[in-house]
Chain A
Amino acid sequence: MKFFSTIAVQTTRNLQKTWPTQVMTLMTVSLSVLIFSFFFLIYTNMIKTGEKLGDDLRLTIYLEEEPVLEMQAQLVRKIINFSPVEEIRFTSRDDAFKRLATQLGDNIDVLDDLDASFLPPSIEIYPKKSLSTLAQIQRFSEYLSTLPGAIKVQYGQEWVERFNYFTKLLRIIVLLSGILLIMTTTFMVAYTIRLAVVARQAELEILRLLGATNNYIRTPFLIEGFLQGILGSSFGLLALFFLYRWIQLRFSGPGILQLVEFTFFTPSIIWIIIAASIILCMGGSFSSMRKFMRI
C-alpha cells in the first residue's frame, strides 16, 4: 500500500511538471489511433460486404447446343471434379426465353417477332463459400470455359475484380496506417519519456543515490505510458465514433451506404485496439527507461 501511494504521489508530481509534452503526445496517439481505426473500420465493413456479395456469386456458362441428358451428367461430373459446388442448374433456350419475357414485363412486345433460338442454353453454377478469392474464381472460370460446348463464362468479372482490387488497396492502407500507429505511439511515447528522463536526470541521479529502487524510478514512467495508451486510444475511438455517426446521418438516404451495411467496431475489437495502444505506449516507455537504467 505504501508503495502504491508513494508511486501515485510521484506520478502526479511528474504529470504536473510535464503536462504540455504529455498533452502533445496524447494528441499524437489519439490521431494515430483515429487514422488507423478509420481505415480499419472501412476495411472490416468492405470484407463483410464482400462476404455478403460472395453469397450471391454465380458463374454462367453459355453453351453452343443444348446438352442431352448423358452430356448433362458428364458436365456435372467434370465440374464437381474440379471444385465442389452448391448447385448446378441447366437452363434451356426456352427457359431462358421465358425468363427474359418475365424480366421485360410490360415491354414483352419486343420479343414478338423473335423465337427462343436466339438465346443460348446455359449452365448456372453456384460455388461453395470456400471459393472466395479472385484467383480461385478466375481459375474455376478458365476451367469452365474449356468444357465441351462452352462459348463463354460470365460471373461479373469486371465488378468482382474491381471490388477485389479495392479491398486489396484497403488492406495496404490498413497495414500502412497500422505501422504508422505502431511507430508514432511507440516512438512518440519513448521520446517523450526520454525527454522527461533527460530533463529530470539530476533528480533521478539523486534518487538513485538515496537508494531508490529501479521499480521506484521506473513505475511512474510506465504509468504515464499506460495513461497515454488508454486515454489516447479512447479519444481516438471516440472521435471515430462521432465521425461514424455523422456519416450515418449525413448519408442515410439511398446510395452506397444502403447497399453496404456499415457498422461500427464490435466491443471486442474496441478492447483489442485499446489494449494494443496500452501495450505499445508502455513498451515505448519501458524501452526508454531500460536505456536509462543501463547508464
Chain B
Amino acid sequence: MKYLDEYRNEGLAQKVVSEIRREVTKPWVLMEVCGGQTHTIVKYGIDHLIPPEVELVHGPGCPVCVTSLEMIDKAHTIARRPDVIFTSFGDMLRVPGSESDLLVLKSRGADIRIVYSPIDALKIARANPNKKVVFFAIGFETTAPGNAMAVWQAHKQGIKNFSVLVSHVLVPPAIASILQSPLNRVQGFLGPGHVCTVMGYREYEPIAERFRVPIVITGFEPLDILEGVLMTVRQLELGQWEVQNQYPRVVRREGNLMAQDLVNQVFEIGDRKWRGVGSIPKSGYKLRYELRDHDAERIFEVEEIDTKEPDICISGLVLRGVRKPHDCPAFGKQCTPEHPLGATMVSAEGACAAYYAYGRHLQQPQPKRSMDGVGVGER
C-alpha cells in the first residue's frame, strides 16, 4: 500500500528537518502534551533528529499516570467489597496504590474484571442485578463521551446497580497550569490530536492568547510530529501565538459536537488532583448532582480518603517538562515499569516508561542522530 509510506518517507522527513533548521535562530522549548506523541518521539528518536536548538519536553498526557494515588486507593477500597464487581480498562490493573494494585486484589479473590468499553461494564451490571457494578471512569477527553454514555444509559434505563468512580482529567487546564508555574520553561505546545478530534480546538485559543504561546494541534506519525515542530518553531521565530491545526485530516475546529453535548449533560467541571502534580483547579470532570445515584464515591463513602504521595520521585517535574526522566537518580534503578515509584513510570505512555522501553536508561543523553531509519521499526 503505497500511500502508507507518504508519512514515513525519509526524504520528506529530511525536508521538514531541513526547514526547521533553516527557520530556527535561537533555542526553544516545546512540549508535546499527549502520551502517544511522547511514545512516537522516543521510539523514532525524533528529539535527536531535530536541530539542537529545539528541545522537546514531555507533558502530562497519560491519564493512567496522572490518576491520583488517593483515587487508586479509593478504587481498591471499593473493589475489595464482596458485594462489588469492579470493572476497569486493563491499563489500570497494575497501577500501584499505597498498598497494592488491582491485579493483586483480584488474585486475593476480589471480583475485578477488565473491560474494553464502559458499555461492557453496563452489560455486566444488567446481567448481575444482585451485585453493585462499578466502572473506573478515567481518562482525558477521549474517553469521556463513552463514559458519559454509559452513565446516561444507566440513568435512562434505571440500571441502579451501576456506578462510576470518576477520575477524568482535562488537557487545557493542565496546559494553563504548566504555563503559570514559576518553573515553566515551555514556550510552545504540540496539541493532542485525538483529544481535539472529540473536543475541537476552540478552547485552546484563549490559552494561546492569554499566555502568548503557539499551540499546534498535531498527529502521531513521525512526520506529523516533525511538521508540528516546524509550525510551532515558525510561529515562535515570527513572534506569533496562534492555535494551528497540523492534523486537519482528522481534527476539525469544532470537534464532535454530539459527544461534547452528552459529556456536558453528564459531567460538570471540577477541581482534580493529578498524581505527581497535585490539585489543579477546574481540571477534571465530576458527575452532575442529578446523576449522584451513579456516583461510586458517594455510594461507597470513600470521598474522605486522602493519600499523601511519596516525595522520592521527580515525576511531578517530568510531567511539567521541568526535568527529563534520566535526571532522576532512581530512573531505571529503583524505579522500573515492574516497580514504578511514580506517575510517569506506571503506564507505558508515561515519559519515564517510554524512555525505559526504548533503552534510554542504558544510555547517556545522546548526540543527534542522522535521518536514516525513520519509521523502519524498533531501534
Q: Do A and B come from one complex?
A: no
Which A residues fall within an 8 A CB radius of B? none
Which B residues fall within an 8 A CB radius of A? none
